[in-house]
Chain A
Amino acid sequence: MDYLPFWAGGIALTTVVLLHYGLLHSQIGVSGRITALVNRVRAKAHHEPELSDEDMLAALRAMTASEFGDDAVAETPTPAASVIPATLPTSSHLLFFGGLVLGGFIATRAVSAFQWTPTLSGALFTRFADGGPLAYLMLFGGGLLVGVGTRMSGGCTSGHGLGGVPRLERGSLLATAAFFGAGIAVSVLMEVLS
């Protein structure tokens, strides 16, 4: 499989991170969007009512006064970020994931002819699992570990690697070092064992 040059990927990822922050005033995070979608489904399952931002704001002002005193609710300049809705609509998350798939397709087409290969054909992977049921089991197990690890560390490669590392957040530096380090170690180990 052919890939775009590393620097092109770097520029593309940087652009996405900057655009996301510039337009939405929030750090990019794929797992965060998945969490938002799952929470929305869970909230619906528990019959949580839909509340408008306007109704919420009125109630919040009252709660703020009771918690911090009337002086606290004296009007304070509203930050520029307030033009962004408090919660992004479900459609924005779905659009984001659609964009991920489309972007991957376009990037593939840019460097090679697209070919549908519904098999698990990675050379190293095939040597271990040979495309049989074990391969699917390994994929499932790996995906499960990724999900658990993501929740445990409060973010994934995009949130920590793209969002947290440039901001020198210690947790993100540690998480990124851990998952990239583990990835390198496992790859080396598989090469040695194969």
Chain B
Amino acid sequence: MSGTANKKCPHVNDCPMFGMFTLSGTLRIWQDNYCHDEYARCERYVRAQRGEIVPKTLMPNGKSLTVVTKPAP
């Protein structure tokens, strides 16, 4: 281990958004910016630490993801 370089949010194992970020290489930028050294500024982390419900669509930057669900065939 080298200093704080390997710091990782303690919620990565149960954070659904972290799991989503692993589904596409494009989305790794969110992990790089919010899930490692800088996780304390992740809004999901902040709310989890306060014991609040963290909506599945809440992004680390505090914005809410607008998901358009496809109608069932």
A: which residues have CB within 8 A of B? 25-27, 29, 32-33, 35-36, 39, 42-43, 46, 48-49, 51-61, 63-64, 67-68, 72-79, 81-82, 84-87, 154-155, 159, 167-171
Contacts and interface: CB of A to CB of B under 8 A. Distances in A.
Interface residues of B, number: 34
Contacts of B30: 64
B29 to A, nearest CB: 5
Interface in B36-73: 53-57, 59, 61, 63, 65-70
Contact of B13 (A29, A72, A75): A29
Contacts of A26: 12-13
Contacts of A52: 69-70
A36 B13 CA distance: 9
Given A39-B14, A67-B61, A170-B1, 8 more contacts: A26-B13, A48-B56, A53-B23, A57-B27, A59-B67, A60-B24, A76-B28, A82-B24
Contacts, number: 111
Contacts of B22: 25, 79, 81-82, 84, 86
Contacts of B61: 67
A55 B67 contact: yes
Decide if the interface of chain B is mainly helix, strand, loop or mixed. Answer: loop
14 contacts: A27-B13, A48-B55, A51-B69, A56-B57, A56-B65, A59-B66, A60-B27, A63-B65, A64-B29, A74-B26, A76-B25, A79-B25, A81-B22, A86-B22
B10 A78 contact: no
Nearest to B20: A86
B68 to A, nearest CB: 7
B58 to A, nearest CB: 11
Nearest to B60: A67
Contacts of A74: 26
Contacts of A46: 53
A49 B20 CA distance: 16
Contacts of B11: 154
B1 A169 contact: yes
A49 B16 contact: no
Query: Which of B6, B13, B65 has the most chain A CB within a 10 Å cutoff?
Result: B13
Given A35-B14, A67-B61, A72-B29, A57 B24 contact: yes
A39 B55 CA distance: 10
Nearest to B9: A154
Contacts of B10: 154-155, 171
